[in-house]
Amino acid sequence: MYATLRIGSNHMMCGNRCCDGKTVFNGLSLSLAAANEAEAERLFNAVAAGGRVQMPLAKIFRSHRFRMVANRFGMRWMVSVAGQ
């Protein structure tokens, strides 16, 4: 296990698949909602380290700040400012 996420009284545990070869993530993105632009930038930089930006900072219908990135493991992340 490399991460445990607590959601209410539940825990979601994450780990690597035990196999040979390259693991490819497909069809899943995780979303992070930040309280403000500074926090969104900090979160984005953390998950983007060594990864590839898929969508630069942009305004979308549900947030005035939104970005997408695939981290160095290929996991896709969406980062936005909440409540905008």
Q: Which residue type occupies 35?
A: A
C-alpha dist (Å) from residue 11 to 4, 5, 31, 65, 75: 6, 5, 17, 29, 20
pTM (predicted TM-score): 0.66
Q: Is 20 inside any structural domain?
A: no
Strands 29-34 and 76-81: parallel
pLDDT of residue 31: 85
pLDDT of residue 25: 58
Q: Is 1 inside any structural domain?
A: no
CATH, residue 35 = 3.30.720.110
Query: Regarding predicted confidence, which is higher, 3 or 67?
Result: 67
Q: Which token pair is 43? A: 């979160």
Per-residue pLDDT of 7-66, as tens digits, reads 777 777 776 666 666 666 566 788 888 888 888 889 899 999 999 998 877 777 767 788
Query: Regarding predicted confidence, which is higher, 16 or 74?
Result: 74
Q: Is 8 inside any structural domain?
A: no
